[in-house]
Structure 1
Amino acid sequence: MRKGVKVTALLLGAVLLLGLAACGKKNVQNPQTTAAGSENTAETTAVLKQQIKVAALKGPTAIGMVQLMENAKEQTAKNDYEFQIAATADEFSADLIKGNVALAALPCNAAATLYNKSNGKIRILGINTLGVLSILDTGDSVQTVADLKGKTIYTTGKGTTPEYTLRYLLSSAGLNPDSDVTIEFKSEAAEVAAVMANAGTEEVIAMLPQPYAATVLMQQPDTRIALDVTEEWEKLNGSDSTVVTGVLVVNTEFYKNNRQAVDNFLKEYKSSVQYANSNVDGAAQLVEDFDILKAAVAKKAIPKCNITLITGQEMQDKVEKYLKVLCDANPNAVGGQMPDDGFYVK
């Protein structure tokens, strides 16, 4: 009997020892397994970055995002961005409406037109570029808008926002755009620049956007900026109304489903704008690296491009007042009618 008790006790002791050993093993981590787990966690975190396609035009509307483009290239951005830099908004407008492009920078009136034509499939997030137009003069006779009376003004954009903007300024200064001045339209800004280059001793006046104005000034040191169109507009209306060249828009469905990703984009975009305005040399080099403009031209143009980020109610107020001027001139310039309140993300 005692022998059986001893055997039983020994068996119980062995079981307890095995159990304790097993418990001890659970607390020991295999270094290889831990390292692999960390790698998997890092991979998972990287995968969680939101994939977003962003489009912009080859010019001022893209300059504000070059630091963000560089961060995306270095994989340090908060989202996984793919950028498309296009010559015209037509290259990505259909994809923007479909949602293949989530975010885009494009002309303000083009955004209004897309909103109206698509029944609200895009919305505006903010203003990213204010006025970029300047009136250049190879002489010194033009000091005010009223001084343009009797002059010939070379420009581009017949039937588009540059024409409507110029006509608005002329009319506001008491001039008849059809009889007090001659507006000579060219198909491309390069043609206007060529007219100025070949002026000789004759005074030539032209209205050009950046970066073309900067290019002319670089090539012809005697040419000057006679009038900043944005400043002249604000003299008439106050700072609450201004020329709005470019805006940031978002596909409506994408915004509904990915608000945090859009908020992250806006924060990163704001930092990129601040970088472009405070570090012109560095921004100019990035502009060339991403094949937007040559660095030398960008360096001259950036201070005159009015790159910004204006959101919320201030954005809506400025956009509405600007679009109203365009709509009064030609409703087709904004898609047939003023966009309703749903156009604005506030």
Structure 2
Amino acid sequence: MKKWPIVSLLIVCLTVVLTACGNTEKAKQAQEPEKSVQATTEQPSVSKVEKMTIQAPAGISIAAPLYKMIDDKSLLEGAEDVEFLTWNTPDELRARISGGQVQVSAVPTYVGANLYNKGVDIQLVNTLIWGILYFIGPEGEAISWEDLKGKTVHVPFKGDMPALVFQYLLQKNGLDIEKDLTVEYTATPQEVVQLLAAGKAQYAVLPEHTASLVIAKAKKEGIALQKSMSLQEEWAAATGKAPRIPQAGLVVDKALIQEHPETVALLQAKIEESIQFLKDNPEAAGELLASYQEGLDPTFIAGLLPYLNIEFVTAQEAKEELEFFFEQLASLSPDIIGGQLPDDDFYYEP
């Protein structure tokens, strides 16, 4: 089986947030244009785009359903050629979108809003990741927000979404980030993993899959860690909203939407099918995803899938939650969404 390029991630942000595990041979072949998948039969019912280039963060989060589609070659119904790339840093992600190098990008939702507000001609077509942030602490130690006073907490991506969500929740729970605790920022989640696994840190905020990965790694070193708090649950307690955060989704180049609407509809349908596969077949999904992830065991991946909070929600259906999320982030850092809420045209409507 061919390997696609897996490189160290940001994001989280997501993240989101969203984070990486390492290079894979399969991943390397994915970025070679000559290795991209070629269509073998013509489907007259769909006006095919000549080439569709998709990018996603490395690791197991929003990329998971995309790996399934790439493995199935299901997008060849709407494109003559499909190329899959991973992005390593937010700058790389933004440069490819702004430069027209990709048509479909898996991104933190606020990144999509920021780019749109800066004049990049894209639309958000869906939200797929609904919160993957966790507070990590010593196993058996109950943690409340009050307990964090005097503690040192390691957080990746200063000024980015994971850090801002943590800061927002501290504020909502009556803590001053400057006075009540020490926050040590790192450039990537992987740095936090190394510190925790080496016993050089005790408390951290991490996205999946690194949150689960660090618990497993630390255990091998004789250090017992746990997910002490779900920041999704804490978000609900602080805001009165549902225990989920519209963290990441797909943005699509508007030219593709206008010129090949059937291909975009196909993309939406195939993403939804892929997510259902991940939910219904965790063992098979673990095997498939492990083939794209060097060093991750299929059993580990199968157990991780429920914590990824993957759900297909169209941009229109998610709009209210997205706008609330953007408003809360902007209350701490207006620039994170480009200074204002995106207008209605940001949200794709078939």
| TM-score, structure 1 as length reference | 0.79
* Distance in 1 of aligned mates of 2:306 and 2:136: 16
Cα distance in 1 for partners of 2:165, 2:151 equals: 17
Does the aligned pair in 2 maintain the 1:230–1:243 contact within 8 Å?
yes
CA deviation after TM superposition for structure 1 residue 345, in Å: 1.2
Matching residue of 2:321: 318
* Cα separation, 2, equivalents of 1:188 and 1:261: 35
Q: CA, structure 1 residues 292+327, in 2 after alignment: closer, same or farther (shift >3 Å)?
A: farther
Between the aligned partners of 2:227 and 2:180, the Cα distance in structure 1 is 22
TM-aligned CA distance change 1:184 to 1:44, over 3 Å: closer
**2:28 aligned residue:** none
Equivalents in 1 of 2:166, 2:210: separation in Å? 17
Q: How many residues align?
A: 300
**Contact preservation (8 Å) 1:125, 1:311:** yes
Contact kept in structure 1, 2:55 and 2:84, CA below 8 Å: yes
1:111 maps to which residue? 112
Query: Could you list the per-position Cα deviations for residues 174-215 of structure 1 after superposition, in whole angstroms to 9, with x for gaps in the alignment?
Result: 111211121122233233223322338xx8111111111111
The Cα of 1:124 is off from its aligned counterpart by 0.5
1:124-147 deviation line (CA, Å, top 9, x unaligned):
011111211111111434333333
Query: 1:277 Cα shift?
Result: 2.3
How do 1:52-71 residues align onto structure 2 when only pairs under 5 Å count?
Answer: 52-59=52-59, 60-71=61-72
Q: Does 1:245 align with 2:244?
A: no
SS in 1 for 2:311: strand
In structure 1, distance between residues paired with 2:268 and 2:311: 12
- State whether residues 54 and 82 of structure 1, in contact with CA within 8 Å, keep that contact through their aligned partners in structure 2: yes
1:239 positional shift:
3.8
Q: In structure 2, what is the equivalent of residue 230 of structure 1?
A: 232
**Match in the other structure for 1:266:** 268
Aligned partners of 1:58 and 1:86 also within 8 Å: yes
The alpha-carbon deviation at position 325 of structure 1 amounts to 1.2
Mapped partners of 1:216, 1:208: distance in 2: 9
Q: Aligned AA for 2:344?
A: D
Residues 92 and 293 (structure 1), Cα distance of their counterparts in 2 relative to 1, 3 Å cut: farther
TM-score (norm 2): 0.78
Residue 186 of structure 2 is matched in structure 1 by 186
Counterpart in the other structure of 2:347: 344
Aligned CA-pair RMSD: 2.5
Kept after mapping to 1: 8 A contact 2:275/2:310:
yes
Rounded Cα–Cα distance in structure 1 between residues aligned with 2:76 and 2:286: 20
Q: Which amino acid aligns with 2:179?
A: S
CA distance in 1, matches of 2:67, 2:176: 41
* CA deviation map 1:253-281 (0-9, x unaligned): 21111111101110010010111222222
**Cα distance, 1:293–1:265 mapped onto 2, change above 3 Å:** farther
Match of 1:29 in 2: none
Q: In 2, are the aligned partners of 1:133 and 1:229 still within 8 Å (CA)?
A: yes
- The answer for the alignment partner of 1:154 in structure 2 is 154
Deviation, structure 1 residue 312: 4.2
Q: Is the 8 A contact 1:132 1:230 kept in 2?
A: yes
SS in 1 for 2:174: coil
The residue aligned with 2:218 is 220
- Distance, in Å, in 1 between the alignment partners of 2:317 and 2:242 is 8
Aligned to 1:84: 85
Return closer, same or farther for 1:295/1:106 CA change in 2, 3 Å cut-off: farther
Q: CA contact under 8 A between 2:155 and 2:192: conserved in structure 1?
A: yes
From the superposition, tell whether residues 224 and 256 of structure 1 become closer, same or farther in structure 2 (CA, over 3 Å).
same
Q: CA deviation at 1:225?
A: 0.7
Q: In 1, distance between residues paired with 2:41 and 2:276?
A: 31
1:229 partner amino acid: L
Deviations 1:67-94 (A, max 9, x none): 211111xx67532332222223433434
Q: Flag the structure with higher helix content.
A: 1
Equivalent pairs: percent with the same residue? 26
Amino acid at match of 1:210: E
